[in-house]
Amino acid sequence: AKLRVGLLFGGRSGEHEVSIKSARAIQGALSADENASKYDVLPFYIQKDGLWQAPATAQQVLDSGKALQNLAPSPNLWQFPAEANQVDVWFPILHGPNGEDGTIQGLLTLMQVPYVGSGVLGSAAGMDKIAMKDVFAQAGLAQVKYVVVTRAQVYSNPCVFPKLCDDIEANLGYPCFVKPANLGSSVGIAKVRNRTELEAALDNAASYDRRIIVEQGVIAREVECAVLGNDNPKASVLGEITFSSDFYDYETKYTEGLAELLIPAPLPSSVVSQIQEMAIQAFAAVDAAGLSRVDFFYVESTGEILINEINTLPGFTATSMYPQMWAHTGVPFTNLVDQLIQFALERHSSTK
């Protein structure tokens, strides 16, 4: 019999629209000739307010490519559509908080049904930039210097703010990057060049998250590596992102034509193999599973390779880096999606 794949998309995060695009691409791949005899797709849509929609409505969202708007607040956020009981394997393709951070993964674990991607620990450790960097440091992976700040410190009374800013200036200098710990797509991130900008950026980041990270700014090329597998993960060829904006901010990421993707990245083979090795180490260090995109800074002037972050549910549209890097490595989109489901089944049977 065919496996029923619960394609779970949308979600309560700023990356809701990207998730719809990713889910469309994955449904297309599961319905393609290579996969159609193995899988049936049951889509489930999580609205921006958190309500789950059954396959009939979810399919309309996939077909239109548009989020449901003007939602009435629902009293039944935790009522799952009855069709959820028919799912043999879940494919969550939710980006950011409430989807990529271990929350959904905990729910699916409790359901005792296999699911694509990392479990609770890998998802949570990969999402929180402070936890992630602490894990990377422990694994001996080189990265930029960083300082941890809490919302409580930013809003403290008596005010510790001036001392906090003094410490950041002394430890990191300018420019530095201020980031809410638990977001993605560059939301809430600021590059700051002086005290006034630093204070404003900390205040802004505190409005997004209780936890904030401030990093030393580096001048570097941005290189990414796709990882696929469970206990023996493989690394793809590398991709490089180039752009003319100040940094890879939200607008540059999502406006057609502002960023260019180069695959494979034009780098010396020794740099490529070091990055691939670091990507696999990072994947293991946070206990990721199935898939991750690991992002790096390559400081060309010194040859330094610094890990920037891991994304455990990276963008998965037809033009996204993750599937494109695999396509250039010889794994076409349809096969990639098939492999991810098989890795989900393998992981489920080995962790039971």
Binding site for ligand ADP (CB under 6 A): 144, 177, 179, 183-186, 189, 215-218, 222, 247-248, 295, 308-309
Choice between 30 and 214, CB closer to ligand ADP: 214
Choice between 6 and 102, CB closer to Mg ion: 102
User: Least CB distance from residue 132 to Mg ion, whole Å?
Assistant: 9
Gap between the Cα atoms of 269 and 285, Å rounded: 24
Q: How many CA atoms lie within 13 A of 253 on its CB side?
A: 15
User: Least CB distance from residue 319 to ligand ADP, whole Å?
Assistant: 17
Asked whether position 180 contacts Mg ion by CB under 5 A, the answer is: no
Q: Which of ligand ADP, Mg ion, none does residue 118 bind to, with CB < 5 to 8 Å depending on kind?
A: none
Interface pick for Mg ion out of 92, 184, 229, 233 (rule CB under 5 A): 184
Give the strands of the sheet with 3-10, arranged side by side.
52-53, 39-46, 3-10, 89-92
For 266, phi and psi rounded to 5 degrees?
-75, 85
Confirm if 313 and 117 have CB atoms less than 8 A apart: yes
Q: Which of ligand ADP, Mg ion, none does residue 35 bind to, with CB < 5 to 8 Å depending on kind?
A: none
User: Least CB distance from residue 275 to ligand ADP, whole Å?
Assistant: 15
Residues 21, 183, 286, 315: what is their CA dihedral angle, to the nearest 10 degrees?
10
Residue number closest to Mg ion, CB atom = 184
Choice between 223 and 341, CB closer to Mg ion: 223
H-type helices in 240-329, by residue range? 250-254, 269-285, 321-329
User: Least CB distance from residue 34 to ligand ADP, whole Å?
Assistant: 32
H-type helices in 155-227, by residue range? 161-171, 195-208
Q: Which residues bind Mg ion (CB under 5 A)?
A: 184, 309, 311
